[in-house]
Structures are given as C-alpha cells and as structure tokens.
C-alpha cells in the first residue's frame, strides 16, 4: 500500500471516529490529509471504497501482529497468550478503528463490505478455536465452539475497559488472567455436554451470514434515497434542512431519538417519504 493511501486511510478513520461516516465529507478528509480532492480520487473512487480499504488495512495489521508469533519456537500456551497480548495492544493502539465500528449504523454496508466484515469475524473465531485446541487438545475438542464463543465474549468485555482507559490494565496480565479463566471453563466442561456442536455452529453461521448479507435497510442508504427524492421536489419547504439534521444526527455515536422523531415529523404528509419515515423509525425502534 502506498504512503499516500495510508495517510488518507489514517486521516479518514480519525474523522469518522470523531464525526461519523455520514457526516464526514471527502473534502474534509482531503483537507485534513493536506491533499486536493482530485488527489483523493486518484486513490479511492468513493467514500465506500475508502471504507473497504480501511477495514482491510486494520484487518491486515491485526493478522500481521498475530502471525509474528507463529514461527517462534514456544509452547502453545505461551504463544497464544502472547497473541492475546498483541491483540489487546493492537486494538488499543488503533482504538479509532473500534470507535468507527461502533458507528456501524451510519456506515453503508454494501455487499463487499459485508463480506469483509463477515470474513473478519470468521477469522477471529478460527483464531480462538485453533489456539484453544493447541493448548487443551482432545479434551476440549467437543466443546471448542462453546469455548471460542466464551473467549470472544470475555475478551471483548475487557477490551471495553482497556479502550476507555488504556493505562488501567496491563496487557500481559490481562492475557494471562483470561487464560486462567479458560482453564476453569475447560475443566468445568468435564461433566457436561457441549451446547454448540460443530454442525449446529456451522448451521448458525450460515444463517447468520444469510441474515447479515440481506440485512435490514441501512440508515445511510435510506437517507441517501431521501436526498435523491428531495432533489426532484420544486417546493421543498425547508425539508432539505430537516434532512441535513437527520444525516448529522445519524452520524453521531449516540443519535438523539427525539431529534430524529422531530425531523421525521416534518416529512409527514409527503407521500413520497412515507416509506423512508417508516424505515428510519423501524431502524431506531420507535413508532411514528
């Protein structure tokens, strides 16, 4: 990846984390990166293409960090502990990426982005399963899907603390603490039956992928369609102002529902916007 591409990506991720995807313009990204808008388009065809590159960029960083330990001649437990430590540190160093992911409702999840996100999830689960199997061996194999799910939950719960206060937890100590919890869980399975068999897990993953790829209508897509519809209207009655407020609110980490409800009420009585109002209300789970 070229140096200029990395500059644009790292600039964009900071702006997306700060303002939200929908509320950040290409011009703002170019200005912050110190390049022209034309130069931006030399590297990325659109903001959607930039989003895909951002996700791939951080995915590669994480994969490269984990692979550092693969060729080291160390015991499986130590290797996996170091990988967990490295993962904690990498995510902490790039917490803007996590913040951006938290803004998913404002991100246009086209098919290529959905595929990449799902692949990242699958790689994560595979990393957990392989690491745990290398440590606990045959006794953990019947429960490996359950163990991987539990490890994923424990890891992400502690990451919320790490990301809110980077200095509060030592990454090595946290990795070792998590592994001791996995020791307890593995021992506790001895007199139990697995909840997730390999077949059940595969079926669930297939259903999850099908639902994710279909998904409900993305808020960003809906707002863009509203904008196109509004362009055809001669008498806008300040609806364009209401739409801009909606777009800005949807781009926030914690959108204010009363504001969204108020802006949507301005579109009441315009039949062309009935479905859009319904989709947005459904997205934010309120009645109109």
Distance (Å) of CA 126 to CA 122, 123, 132, 170, 214: 6, 5, 10, 25, 24
Instruction: Determine the pLDDT at residue 216.
Output: 46
Instruction: Determine the pLDDT at residue 183.
Output: 96
Average pLDDT over residues 139-160: 93
User: How many CB atoms neighbour CB 71 within 10 A?
Assistant: 6
Instruction: Determine the pLDDT at residue 242.
Output: 92
Q: Is the pLDDT of residue 175 over 50?
A: yes
Q: Are 76 and 133 in contact (CB under 8 A)?
A: no
Q: What ranges do the domains of the chain cover?
A: 75-214, 219-283
- Indicate the range of 86-90, 170-174, 203-207, 211-215 predicted with least confidence: 211-215
Could you tell me the two tokens for 67?
């692979």
Q: Which residue has the higher pLDDT, 211 or 132?
A: 132
Average pLDDT over residues 210-225: 69
Distance (Å) of CA 239 to CA 42, 179, 246, 250, 267: 34, 55, 10, 16, 7
Instruction: Determine the pLDDT at residue 109.
Output: 60
Of 107-121, 166-180, 198-212, highest mean pLDDT:
166-180
| DSSP reduced 3-state for 168 | coil
Instruction: Determine the pLDDT at residue 114.
Output: 75
| DSSP reduced 3-state for 216 | coil
- Indicate the range of 141-145, 170-174, 250-254 predicted with least confidence: 250-254
Interior CA angle at 241 toward 12 and 100, to 5°?
25
Residues comprising the chain, all counted? 288
Instruction: Determine the pLDDT at residue 96.
Output: 79
Say which residues have a Cβ less than 8 Å from residue 68's Cβ, sequence separation at least 6: 86
């Amino acid at each position: 990846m070229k140096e200029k591409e990395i500059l644009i990506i790292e600039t964009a991720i900071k702006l997306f984390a700060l303002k939200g995807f929908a509320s950040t313009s290409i011009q703002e990204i170019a200005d912050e990166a110190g390049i022209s808008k034309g130069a931006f388009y030399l590297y990325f065809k659109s903001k959607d293409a930039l989003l895909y590159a951002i996700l791939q960029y951080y995915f590669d960083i994480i994969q490269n960090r984990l692979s550092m330990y693969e060729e080291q001649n160390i015991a499986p437990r130590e290797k996996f502990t170091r990988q967990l430590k490295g993962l904690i540190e990498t995510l902490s160093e790039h917490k803007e990426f996590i913040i951006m992911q938290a803004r998913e409702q404002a991100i246009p999840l086209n098919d290529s982005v959905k595929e990449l996100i799902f692949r990242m999830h699958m790689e994560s689960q595979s990393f957990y399963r392989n690491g745990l199997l290398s440590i606990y061996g045959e006794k953990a194999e019947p429960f490996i899907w359950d163990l991987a799910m539990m490890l994923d939950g424990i890891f992400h719960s502690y990451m919320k603390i790490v990301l809110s206060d980077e200095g509060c937890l030592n990454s090595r100590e946290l990795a070792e603490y998590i592994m001791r919890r996995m020791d307890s869980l593995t021992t506790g399975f001895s007199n139990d039956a697995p909840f997730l068999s390999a077949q059940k897990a595969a079926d669930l993953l297939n259903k999850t992928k099908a639902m994710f790829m279909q998904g409900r209508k993305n808020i960003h897509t809906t707002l863009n369609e509203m904008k196109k519809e509004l362009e055809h209207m001669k008498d806008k009655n300040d609806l364009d102002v209401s739409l801009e407020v909606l777009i800005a609110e949807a781009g926030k980490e914690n959108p204010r529902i009363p504001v969204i409800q108020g802006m949507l009420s301005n579109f009441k009585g315009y039949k062309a916007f009935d479905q859009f109002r319904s989709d947005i209300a459904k997205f934010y789970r309120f009645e109109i």
